[in-house]
Amino acid sequence: MNLMTRDPFFGNLLDEIFENRQSSPMRTDIYEKDGKYVIEADIPGFKKENVKIDYDKGHLTITAYQDDEKKEEEQDYIRRERYYGELTRSFYIGEVDEKKIKAKFSDGTLQLSFPKEEPKQTTKLIPIE
């Protein structure tokens, strides 16, 4: 029995779908609710302790990593599709008090919320002589 037989119509379609899914960043929704911005990022298969959130100079960065914890003896894999590595996504959110950024992780979805603040007036007119 040959497990690697390809369907002539679909060809490598499943391989292409898998490769595109693996290389795509975490899927994210951003919306406003009750005077706050909310970011929801799907990172299924990652544990809460393997997710890190950084905020620096207006940039919010989400990093999720997964190690190959299974140190199995030599296996004769026909195909191995489990993802091990790191996903990173960064957003510019402007100047926000980092103490007001709230994060929750549940069922593979990370939810971040922070207050929507009015932009500060930084434009100054320079008189022309």
Residue 2 confidence class, pLDDT cut points 50, 70, 90 = very low
d(CA 14, CA 80): 13
* Assigned domain for 65 exists: yes
Higher-scoring residue by pLDDT: 15, 67: 67
* Assigned domain for 102 exists: yes
* Assigned domain for 61 exists: yes
Instruction: List the domain range (segments joined by +) for residue 47.
Output: 27-69+81-115
d(CA 116, CA 102): 13
Would you state the pLDDT for residue 22? 47
Would you state the pLDDT for residue 73? 58
* Assigned domain for 14 exists: no
Q: Which backbone phi and psi does 48 adopt, to 5 degrees? A: -55, -40
Average pLDDT across the chain, whole number: 79
Q: Render pLDDT for 61-80 as a digit per residue (tens, 0 to 9).
A: 999 998 765 555 567 777 77
Q: How far is CA 97 from CA 30, 89, 92, 101, 124, in A?
A: 19, 20, 14, 7, 24
In the sheet with 102-106, reading across from the earlier edge strand, the strands are 27-33, 36-42, 109-115, 102-106
Domain count, the chain: 1
* Assigned domain for 75 exists: no
- Given a cut of 80, whether residue 126 has pLDDT beyond it is yes
* Assigned domain for 6 exists: no
Q: Which backbone phi and psi does 80 adopt, to 5 degrees? A: -130, 115
Would you state the pLDDT for residue 71? 53
* Assigned domain for 3 exists: no
Quickly tell me which residue has 């489990």 as its tokens.
82
The pTM for the full model equals: 0.66
Would you state the pLDDT for residue 55? 95
Which domain CATH number covers 108?
2.60.40.790
* Assigned domain for 5 exists: no
d(CA 13, CA 5): 13
